[in-house]
Chains A and B, each alone.
Chain A
Amino acid sequence: MTNPPHFKGFRPIGLPEENSPIVLNFEEYESIRLSDFELYGQVEAAQIMEISRPTYARIYESARRKVAQAFILGKAIVFEGGKVYFDSDWYSCNSCGCWFNHPAKETEIKNCALCGSRDIAQYNDISQQETNDDICICPNCGTEKEHTLGVPCHKEICPSCNYQMIRKGAPLHHSIRGNNGKEI
């Protein structure tokens, strides 16, 4: 997860303090942040949290139920850690040429961790995300197509020979290639 909340929770107004608050895990907080604040789709949000889409749906549903419970029953909400670690970003220094990360999110980074230079830049790992994309392949003619998230490869139709496509590198791929793609 990327951004921890910078406060510990919520309390209802006008009620005496209760000692049975609802515990909202960080991953549940993060799912609400991604779905309802950043307005990501579930598939995208699941990718950001590096979990599967069904797992994401489960976490998100649990999060909403807990928030609803707290609202209706007038309970406090406390954020607490689940199985998460806070990913840190990489920075590069243009003065000494080093790379460094910044695990303490609360403080802003201004200087290089090694030489103290102010000439630093944040590093965005875009190239790696692009190479991770999956590819659909036609078992008949070998045409490759970028996999569309949420669309199973076997529902894609080959643009050149109208054959049913499959995921590249899947074990099925090789067995079908052996049959010259005549049968599935």
Chain B
Amino acid sequence: MKVAITSTGNSPDATLDNRFGRCSFFVVFDTDTQATEFIPNPNKENIEGAGQASVQLVASRGVKKVVSGEFGAKVKSIFDSLQIQLVVLNDPEKKIREVIELLNRINN
């Protein structure tokens, strides 16, 4: 299963980005192959619609779960209709590596 995590930088030592639509990077982590992919967020500087555009981006990667610090008001209904699970983790100090470790624990 693929999981998207919002990140402030493009390494596993970067911290979780608190915003979903305007985060710096999306980390797409595959729990089956343990592969991570860092995608720069093209919608970061959008004036409006950053959330919706980001939903399209992560949905096009086949993600089934999204981890972020916060989600905007408009995106939850879109995620619901796409059957994508949202995880709100209000901990800006959390590193991407630690989130991935947590996700790995479910499978073991």
Residue positions of A touching B, CB distance < 8 A:
85-88, 96-104, 111, 113-116
Q: Is the CB of B86 within 8 A of A100?
A: yes
B58 to chain A, nearest CB (A): 14
**B80 A88 Cβ-Cβ under 8 A:** yes
B-to-A contact residues, CB < 8 Å: 65, 67, 76-77, 79-91, 99, 102-103, 105-106
Give the interface centre of A97, A99, A103 by most chain B CB atoms within 10 Å: A103
State the majority secondary structure of interface residues on A: loop
Q: Would you call the interface of chain B mostly helix, strand, loop, or mixed?
A: mixed
Contacts A113-B65, A114-B99, A114-B103 given; indicate if A102 touches B85 (C-beta within 8 A).
yes
Does B81 contact A85, Cβ atoms closer than 8 Å? yes
Q: List 8 A-B contacts (CB under 8 A).
A: A88-B76, A88-B80, A97-B91, A98-B67, A101-B79, A102-B85, A103-B84, A116-B106
Bound: A87/B77 CA distance, A: 7
Say whether B89 contacts A114, CB under 8 Å: yes
CB distance from A27 to the nearest CB of B (A): 15
Which one of A85, A102, A111 contacts B77 once the chains associate, using CB atoms below 8 Å?
A85
Q: How many Å lie between the Cα of A70 and that of B42 in the bound state?
A: 51
